[in-house]
Amino acid sequence: MPPDKRQDLPDAVAALFPGVAQRVHVDQWLGGELQRASMRIQAGPVAPTVDMTAFRAELDAFTFERPRPLEEMLRWTIERMEQGIVQMTNPRYFGLFNPGPSFPAQCADRIAGVFNPQLASSASSPVPVELERHVVRAIARRAALPEDAAGHFATGGSESNYTALLCALTRAHSGFACDGARAFAGPVRIYTSRDCHIAWLKAAHQAGVGRTALRLVATDGRGRMDPQALRSAIALDRGNGAVPVMVVATAGTTGAGMIDPLHACADIARDERLWYHIDAAWGGAALASNRLRKVLDGIERADSITIDAHKWLATTMGCAIFITRHAHLLSEAFHASTSFMPSSVAGVDPYLNSVQWSRRFLGLRLFLALASAGWEGLGAHVERSVEVVERVKERLVGLGWTVANESALAVLDVVPPLELGPVRELVRRVVTSGQAWVAPTAFEGRDVVRICATNGETTLEDVDTLVAALNQRA
């Protein structure tokens, strides 16, 4: 094309790529608005207040025929978010493992969004890939895994656990990579406790071994996998011609924060020559605390582990870590070959080591949190949550509630006194009041109220508000 013709290119679409001055202006304005919204959220109701009929009608008006000003849309989005979600950043959210995210993690998201690095390949993103490897190694060291342990960041515990299953299957039979479940001499079996996170069923489904591959082993009456029941289940399956491949211990069960007997499970996996995975999606954060990490004693014996940074390590959503002591198996399970990728280094390039191909810069969230708080700061965050739950426990026990679980971590399962009525109705009252958020669940056959400290800024006043809401009669 002749040089003068280049000027004929249309301008960049200004609504999508505004000028620098406009971006700086919007950024500053947005930063202030978000902080003000955060303060309102902290003081406001935890439960959504949105009228969904009205919201759907409002959405119907978005036919996308007429562009609207970005600032108007940003203001609208913040308002709707303030009304339209359970507020994880509210310090009275004592809910599932979703954290109020740390500020360094939020900054990491902003940076990743601006640079938008492609972490599939080390040639495209040498610095981010190396930085993530560094963080993974630091976590592996903290878990006392061998120096050559390897891993990567994943979108969540489910992806990470699925990765573990693919590694286990790949090691169990050299034909699995090509022939899938057909390679095995009988139906595959995976063992975990009945209190596991039930996404394991999806992992079995995705891996092509079928949901019936999952054996849910009995617990010991205290929410932990019963090692004797595990041994018996494996023996029974072998006797019936099935092929056991993997034992999964949970370190921090979703319902009750219980830790399966990690050494006993490791012994059984070793004796039976099975892959040993520890799902420490939530509880793995205890590694950050010098005081609490001993509850994870035995984690160093795992073939692989899952830790979700987006749970107790308080990163923004979609940030897990998978680590294995068998680095070569990642390359075996996820290898691929193509000429268009900028680099193809086995053991280094994330697209050759993991489920994902294109990938976001997830590890920066944990790197910035760790770098700015240190292990000491991250440990103090974890220990603080345990303390919050201790305070809730003291107050509730004083008011006649019964503790159902004996977790050393930050989940409390409690049974209300009879006069407060059934658990599910009580939880509904608390949640609809907007004052606090807790969940109903079942623990060892009993309905319980599950209370988890997830927010790093919860105060004693918040604890008092929770306790008062829980004790409110119908």
Positions that interact with ligand PLP (CB under 6 A): 97, 156-158, 161, 197, 199, 250, 254, 279, 281-282, 308, 320
Q: How far is the CB of 94 from ligand PLP (least distance, A)?
A: 15
369 with 315: CB under 8 angstroms? yes
Question: Which residue lies nearer to ligand PLP by CB, 451 or 469?
Answer: 451
Task: Using DSSP bridges, classify how beta strands 446-452 and 439-443 pair: parallel, antiparallel or unpaired.
Answer: antiparallel
DSSP 416-452: --GGG--HHHHHHHHHHHTS-B-EEEEETTEEEEEEE
Question: Which residue lies nearer to ligand PLP by CB, 173 or 310?
Answer: 310
Indicate the residue type of 35: Q
In this structure, what DSSP letter does residue 399 have? T
Question: Which residue lies nearer to ligand PLP by CB, 197 or 359?
Answer: 197
Q: How far is the CB of 86 from ligand PLP (least distance, A)?
A: 15
- Cα 154 to Cα 96, 125, 186, 316, 356: the distances in Å are 20, 17, 31, 13, 8
245 with 189: CB under 8 angstroms? yes
Question: Which residue lies nearer to ligand PLP by CB, 45 or 156?
Answer: 156
Q: How far is the CB of 417 from ligand PLP (least distance, A)?
A: 29
Q: How far is the CB of 218 from ligand PLP (least distance, A)?
A: 18
Question: Which residue lies nearer to ligand PLP by CB, 206 or 465?
Answer: 206
Q: How far is the CB of 181 from ligand PLP (least distance, A)?
A: 23
Question: Which residue lies nearer to ligand PLP by CB, 172 or 313?
Answer: 313
Cα–Cα distance between 273 and 51 in angstroms, integer? 55
Cα–Cα distance between 241 and 187 in angstroms, integer? 8
Q: How far is the CB of 311 from ligand PLP (least distance, A)?
A: 7
Question: Which residue lies nearer to ligand PLP by CB, 82 or 308?
Answer: 308
Cα–Cα distance between 358 and 350 in angstroms, integer? 9
Q: How far is the CB of 104 from ligand PLP (least distance, A)?
A: 20
> How many H-runs (helices) and E-runs (strands) does the chain carry?
14, 11
DSSP 102-150: PHHHHHHHHHHHHH---TT-TTT-HHHHHHHHHHHHHHHHHTT--TT-E
166 Cβ contact list (under 8 Å, min separation 6): 207, 333, 334, 355
Q: How far is the CB of 98 from ligand PLP (least distance, A)?
A: 9
Name the residue with tokens 């984690």: 299
